[in-house]
Structure 1
């Protein structure tokens, strides 16, 4: 387009007010707020002006196109920012993808709490104000044997609150091999510094003895801390005192003890073919003063930080001014209490009741059946465009739970002769329902451990979109 043609076309762009009075735009204004429609329409006109100046637009659009472009932009602006996706990465509890899925009981409890007034901090028997911990505390007392408990928004917050309450301004003795860092650069030394406690590391990276703790104790020792290595494991020539030994030392020296269990488990994971993880109840039985652990991960509830232990310390944490900043709302308490109730009612059906445990323990035979069915569906869609194979692979629980253990799994492996694995992954990722897999050996892998009937349907819908672009 010549400069003269451009100059002639630009003045013909319709006025915003004129466009707003067309039938199509009036219908949009009946659905959406007028300011939103005006703002978006102006952006559309600006886009068309830019297209004319660049030579990509040689004639003015029809009035209906202005309305359609405006509708599309508004739809994109107002679409939910958090969207359902298919997790085919092989990492079951994926932090970036929202971590744990909740049981039907927990979801129903959350919905009930969201839509109704509830007795969150109201004692129905006395008619007076109560504490929100009384909802979950009786359940945790029965499930773990603890004297008292409280709940904050995640396990990092639980550790922070406990350290500041018990040992602010005092030394906290911990093994050098337990100064962990987890996702998001969360480091025990940094949390300790933020709490006001003083780090006193003992032992070496691979070997720490009980005498190291004993020799470090002085008049300013405030806490003996043990951190369960939930996201790593040291193998070989290693040694570390048990929590029972540290607890006994603490009792002898009148120093409180604490263990950060990280994932935490209420039932023996070995019963489901997974490696044994320390049970919260076992730690409480050993006499430890404070135990912190996550509400999701192995437990299968909403993300939260649970603190259980001796009443003396839990009461002090409740009175800590930080508690109000770290406490959870009624939705988390509703979901968590429903999860704990399910354990109390019948923990033997955990694999059926809790979606995450079910995903951890699905059989290879089941995954093979899913793979063959899905492979046939995708081959019909892609024909010769993609080479699709079924392959054995390994996944992981994720989010620091059982870090060195892998989960045997089955995957679909997709290969295109036209585009790279990265481009193919992007096509699946940017569809209406994003499908997130992983790239390995230059191929696009869809791990099926977390793919059920709903996800299979979504994968087929997304594949239908992708097939049209190849």
Structure 2
């Protein structure tokens, strides 16, 4: 049995230690030695076995996944994959950078000035902008500053909100519980399915902190319903905060019913909150956009609030957000605007290659969704490769867990991992009518070769 210290001194394992750390590499060596003792491995193969079991990065619990679900913003897969421009910005920000330094004067600079300027440029109707670490944080900051108890606001004030907008989203997260946790009081108006302007007007009083309108996220109420528009609420007097959720900054013709920041501000909202990692296609972040005048003053008040420090975003988020706003269309935008005919062509080509290899594969029509709480009920025409149901598990867990993907970690700018060094990427499809569907809408064309290789690798 080769000695552990001698193995760790091997050039290949020394290089791995420089990338991954000694502790992780040593565990891999000890695991390979245990296999030798069990008679599963020849002693001269310990180095190769240890290298093969190492993850691509020190964050070994994370693995690149090809998103073949047909859900463009899959929350369990991290929502929006970052663009190549955002990945390049992360490399710059990962080292020492002028995130809070004015290089011209050597004095302290405005933190995140590039990202804030890019956000302001993307929504010219905004009078002021600010960024926190996620959408829930943006709403919590607003509720704390405008309606929470404290020296600046006095006793807790009321947030007027329609009962039909007290939504719960993924993992049991509930908007009313978040708001209540800030110490603010909720004033519910209307019925679950119907709310009228008179309901809001009757609820407004000296204790009103602000009116809140919330995007319904991933559900719809249909039938006998009514709601009140932003324009109508804007005339009632108190500040109007609109949580649009999905992060659209401008109208999207493919999603005509999805609210966007520019339109909502033009309709009279005082403040808009939104997420950065949904339809915007950027990193997790919470964006606050205020109207000119009162909204801009409110944004500045929120920026100076003590809680804002606790909700501050780091330099990596600022860099990726700026690149997303100022750079080329991100992957989610390209997926949203994918040509169904081209998707069908890709599916047919993949299925034909797999059938030529003796596999049961067919190109089928499919329906994709936006996901991430955006555009509930909207279905996007797509195409998929249909395989036997057993492929769903095999593709999700290819090879042994430690060697499922030997990517170099650089990525391809589409959230689909990096250069393939001979391993097998994990693939997440969906089950439908007893078949495993690999929907191509959320995958760029350059991922097709990796998808083909993954299916072939688990077909035996």
Taking structure 2 as the reference length, what is the TM-score of the superposition? Answer: 0.82
Distance 1:365 1:73, change over 3 A: closer
Question: Paired residue for 1:370?
Answer: 346
Aligned-residue offset at 1:127: 4.6
Question: Paired residue for 1:304?
Answer: 285
Question: How many residues are aligned here?
Answer: 419
Question: Paired residue for 1:195?
Answer: 182
Question: Paired residue for 2:245?
Answer: 262
Q: Does 1:394 align with 2:361?
A: no
Aligned-residue offset at 1:353: 2.7
Give the stretch that moved more between structures: 424-433 or 135-144: 135-144
Aligned-residue offset at 1:363: 1.8
Q: Does 1:361 align with 2:329?
A: no
Q: Select the residue among 122, 129, 132 that pairs with 1:152.
A: 132
Question: Paired residue for 2:3?
Answer: 19
Question: Counterpart of 1:248 in 2: which secondary structure?
Answer: coil
Aligned-residue offset at 1:109: 3.0
Residues 144 and 280 of structure 1 are in contact (CA less than 8 Å); yes or no, is this contact kept in structure 2? no
Deviations 1:227-273 (A, max 9, x none): 122322222211111111111102xxxx2221111113222211xx3
Equivalents in 2 of 1:402, 1:240: separation in Å?
17
Equivalents in 2 of 1:406, 1:141: separation in Å?
31
Distance 1:137 1:370, change over 3 A: same
Residues 137 and 148 of structure 1 are in contact (CA less than 8 Å); yes or no, is this contact kept in structure 2? no
Question: Paired residue for 2:406?
Answer: none
Distance 1:77 1:141, change over 3 A: closer
Aligned-residue offset at 1:137: 3.6
Give the stretch that moved more between structures: 134-143 or 318-327: 134-143
Aligned-residue offset at 1:133: 5.1
Q: Select the residue among 70, 73, 77 that pairs with 1:93.
A: 73
Question: Paired residue for 1:345?
Answer: none
Q: Select the residue among 447, 451, 456 that pairs with 2:448.
A: 456
Equivalents in 1 of 2:211, 2:5: separation in Å?
73
Aligned-residue offset at 1:373: 0.9
Aligned-residue offset at 1:46: 5.1
Aligned-residue offset at 1:193: 1.3
Aligned-residue offset at 1:64: 2.2
Q: Select the residue among 58, 79, 84 that pairs with 2:64.
A: 84
Deviations 1:384-412 (A, max 9, x none): xx321121121101101101100111111
Question: Paired residue for 1:380?
Answer: 356
Q: Select the residue among 261, 271, 276 that pairs with 1:290.
A: 271
Question: Paired residue for 2:457?
Answer: 465
Aligned-residue offset at 1:121: 2.2
Question: Paired residue for 2:408?
Answer: none
Structure 2 segments unaligned to the other structure (5+ residues)? 149-155, 399-423
Q: Does 1:129 align with 2:108?
A: yes
Equivalents in 2 of 1:74, 1:139: separation in Å?
40
Residues 166 and 313 of structure 1 are in contact (CA less than 8 Å); yes or no, is this contact kept in structure 2? no
Equivalents in 2 of 1:130, 1:388: separation in Å?
57
Residues 140 and 146 of structure 1 are in contact (CA less than 8 Å); yes or no, is this contact kept in structure 2? no
Q: Select the residue among 199, 202, 222 that pairs with 1:215.
A: 202
Please list, as runs of the form range in 1=range in 2, the aligned pairs for 1:43-442 lying within 5 A after superposition: 43-44=31-32, 51=38, 62-67=42-47, 69-74=49-54, 80-118=60-98, 120-124=99-103, 127-132=106-111, 134-142=113-121, 143-168=123-148, 169-250=156-237, 255-270=238-253, 273-309=254-290, 310-342=295-327, 353-381=329-357, 383=358, 386-415=359-388, 421=389, 423-431=390-398, 432-442=424-434
Question: Paired residue for 2:409?
Answer: none
Equivalents in 2 of 1:390, 1:369: separation in Å?
9
Equivalents in 1 of 2:8, 2:262: separation in Å?
65
| Higher radius of gyration, 1 or 2 | 1
Equivalents in 1 of 2:448, 2:216: separation in Å?
35
Equivalents in 2 of 1:122, 1:149: separation in Å?
20
Aligned-residue offset at 1:26: 5.0
RMSD of aligned C-alpha atoms? 2.8
Taking structure 1 as the reference length, what is the TM-score of the superposition? Answer: 0.81
Aligned-residue offset at 1:123: 3.9
Aligned-residue offset at 1:138: 3.7
Deviations 1:53-97 (A, max 9, x none): xxxx6xx96532555554544569967433322111010111111
Equivalents in 1 of 2:107, 2:101: separation in Å?
6
Residues 88 and 446 of structure 1 are in contact (CA less than 8 Å); yes or no, is this contact kept in structure 2? yes
Residues 335 and 444 of structure 2 are in contact (CA less than 8 Å); yes or no, is this contact kept in structure 1? no
Question: Counterpart of 2:91 in 1: which secondary structure?
Answer: helix
Equivalents in 1 of 2:438, 2:310: separation in Å?
40
